[in-house]
Amino acid sequence: MLGIIEITVWHYVGFIAAVLVFLALDLGVFHRVAHVVKFREALAWTALWFTLAMAFAGLIKANRPQGEAIEFVTGYIVELSLSMDNVFVIALIFAYFRVPLALQHRVLFWGILGALVMRGVMIGAGAALIQEFKWLLYVMGGFLVFTGIKMLFVDDEGVQPEKNPLIRLARKFFPVTQTFDGDHFLTKMAGRTALTPLALVLVMVETTDLIFAVDSIPAIFAVTQDPFIIFTSNVFAILGLRSLYFVLAGAIGFFRYLKIGLSVVLVFIGVKMLLGIWDIHIPSGLSLAIVLAIILVSIGASILAARREGKHLPDDEVDETGSRG
């Protein structure tokens, strides 16, 4: 290990600046022209973001106290796992609004940029509250156990834009066009600024992430209370969410048991937090192994079930309507 580096505000600034550079390259260079993100391309991007996350874990291991790198990786895996459920809801939103495949990456780009801001605020507020009121950790633990059990027995309500207060508010102040206007969120209608359906999709995606953050942010506080580890692991998980969407959305049938696995993960993390009441602590390395095992078993069982039914992973073929072949 090199000398231990104390985290300052400049480390946050440097990290955020690096993320903004990556995002600018993503939208301004690699996806400057809207196009359909194919399965193999998405898989390559997913591998790249995972590699960058592990490289960052290596930097933490070399420059920070022992154990923080494990906490980062655990937090990253937890956040990435919980994001998978978010992916399937986003797929439902895109299907409901009939968003062309070529426009989906743009929505996800701006949606994730907004998610970074929202989560940064939530992490900062959560860290400050827990530092002041330690008992909030146990409240979060109980909430996660409840959420995990509820996830097992309550079916998703599907996409219901009419029940979204932000959608209703947007419709109240702006006219909304009936058709898309390329990749624009705003357009002109009868001389007035109007929203396109793509703008409503963006609002739905942002709202969905906010709802999922209510589960995922408390979950990572069970791993560590270090704001820098929490923030950076969240950011890497969110950055990988776009490419992960294009990998998973075309293979939803291969993840039927993933929801069960995620519910078990939430219950495990909640119990881990509640055990702190009796001063019982599960080591970070063991927590990482358990979370990985739960997710891998649920994915493995899903793939076996799909294979028995003769399903195949998506390829890169896209038909004339924009659907994958």
pLDDT for the residue numbered 157? 61
CA–CA distance, 81 with 120 (Å, rounded to integer): 19
Phi, psi dihedral angles at 188 (to 5 degrees): -115, 135
Which element (helix H / strand E) includes 154?
Answer: none
Amino acid code (one letter) for 45: W
Find out whether 209 and 86 touch, Cβ atoms under 8 Å: yes
CA–CA distance, 221 with 67 (Å, rounded to integer): 15
pLDDT averaged over every residue in the chain? 84
pLDDT for the residue numbered 155? 67
pLDDT for the residue numbered 27? 64
pLDDT at 11 over 90: yes
**DSSP strands (E only) in the chain:** 186-189, 192-195
Q: What's the mean pLDDT in 147-161? A: 78
pLDDT for the residue numbered 323? 43
Summarize pLDDT for 177-224 with one digit per residue, the tens.
Answer: 988 988 889 998 878 889 999 999 999 999 888 888 887 888 888 888
pLDDT at 312 over 80: no
Q: What's the mean pLDDT in 55-70? A: 92
pLDDT at 86 over 50: yes
pLDDT for the residue numbered 319? 43
DSSP conformation class of 174: S
pLDDT for the residue numbered 25? 78
**Dihedral sign (CA 263, 267, 272, 273):** positive
State the pLDDT confidence band at 253, using cuts at 50, 70 and 90: low
Residue in 137, 127, 140, 73 with CA at minimum distance from that of residue 286: 73
